[in-house]
Amino acid sequence: MSKADTPSEPLRAEYDSLVESVRRYRFAYYNEDAPLISDAEFDQLFRRLEEIEALHPELVSNDSPTQEVGGEISAVFSPVQHLSQMYSLEDVFSLDELEAWVLKAQLSAEKLAGQRLVESPLRWLTELKIDGLAVNLLYRKGTLVRAATRGDGITGEDITHNVLTIKEIPRQLKGENLPEEVEIRGEVFIASKDFAELNEQMVAAGRAPFANPRNSAAGSLRQKDPAETAKRPLSMLVHGIGARQGFEVGGQSESYALLKEWGLPTSPYFKVFSGYSEILDFIAHYGEHRHDLLHEIDGIVVKIDDFATQRALGYTSRVPRWAVAYKYPPEEVNTKLLDIQVNV
């Protein structure tokens, strides 16, 4: 490494302090369900960490927060190994960044298509990024045998008893020829209409209200006592398949049709497009209507629909290379509310 590549002392100090802050904020967010800063502020810190690492790749270690799926295991729940790893998503924060990401993914896929590995042209499944808590459901021969939080992506927390209190989640899948084994991934959340009511109840009971619907869902699902979880208005939507045995499907949209047939709750909002301009229209539409939906969203997820292409592109240690999350800019109204609260 040349001397010019070595980070200056102030930059090194900034980097070390960022790593420590990101770890502390992640712990508060994932383990205590009590964020210390807003998501937008966290995203800025994380982005700065990525920028410094891009300038100085020699700083990147295996336990850098950019290389890991955020989340730890609390002692309250037993640890469980996921059969296949759960991932986070790469974020983009502007339409320019999204376009660059789509072009890059398209180019990588076209290279693979040259080797006749994947479909071309690509179809893009575009859906809402549900602001909830990632959960992994394990079904054996159609029966729900285990449910776990994402944790660090490899090991999660066993929350089976709590998940069993959510009425939309079937104990038994419907249909014939059910798979030997399948992991279903999705998001547990509290519907927008239920959130305000829940916070009123918390305050009336002399407890601190939740910062946002995501934290209320996470706090509710990670209760020690399932009877407490049962009192909370939790919902779930599924958006992915992990390990599977005994069946195969061709793509994301096809898998949603199958999950629906099995009686699992799938989102009513997804669309499959072949043109980039349609993705932009989808983003603009839900940017305008984000508060008219069943649940809060913190962005839009764009996924390559075809499973063969997904497999060929694969994963980094933290995210799939075939999906991206476009995050809407933070809303001004929240900042104003925050100012008012701070000033009172």
For residues 328, 331, 334, 336, the Cα torsion angle rounded to the nearest 10 degrees is: 160
CA 29 to chain CA centroid, nearest Å: 14
Residue at 150: amino acid letter? R
193 has catalytic annotation = no
150 annotated as belonging to a binding site for a ligand: yes
Q: Which is nearer to ligand NAD, 142 or 251 (CB)?
A: 251
Please choose, out of 31-39, 93-101, 114-122, 171-179, the segment that lies near ligand NAD by the rule CB under 6 A.
31-39
Q: Which is nearer to ligand NAD, 117 or 258 (CB)?
A: 258
- CA angle, 47 then 39 then 280, to 5°: 75
Q: Where are the alpha helices (DSSP H) in 157-251?
A: 160-163, 192-204, 213-221, 226-230
The site that binds ligand NAD (CB under 6 A) totals a number of residues, namely 24
Helix (H, G, I), strand (E, B) or coil at 312: helix
**Taking Cα atoms as reference points, which of 286, 326, 303, 277 lies closest to residue 93?**
326
- Positions 201 through 260 that interact with ligand NAD (CB under 6 A): 239-240
Supply 132's token pair.
Answer: 């909830």
Query: Does the footprint of ligand NAD cover residue 191 (CB under 6 A)?
Result: no
Distance, in Å, from the CA atom of 154 to the CA atom of 152, rounded to the nearest integer, reads: 6
Q: Which is nearer to ligand NAD, 70 or 142 (CB)?
A: 70
Q: Among 104, 111, 129, 174, which one carries the catalytic annotation?
A: 129
88 annotated as belonging to a binding site for a ligand: yes
Supply 320's token pair.
Answer: 């799939």
- Positions 110 through 149 that interact with ligand NAD (CB under 6 A): 127, 129-130, 134
Please choose, out of 39-47, 60-68, 190-198, 199-207, the segment that lies near ligand NAD by the rule CB under 6 A.
39-47
Q: Which is nearer to ligand NAD, 42 or 178 (CB)?
A: 42
* Binding site residues, ligand NAD, CB under 6 A: 25-26, 29, 35-39, 42-43, 70, 88-89, 91, 127, 129-130, 134, 150, 187, 239-240, 301, 325
Residues annotated as catalytic (active site), given as ranges: 129
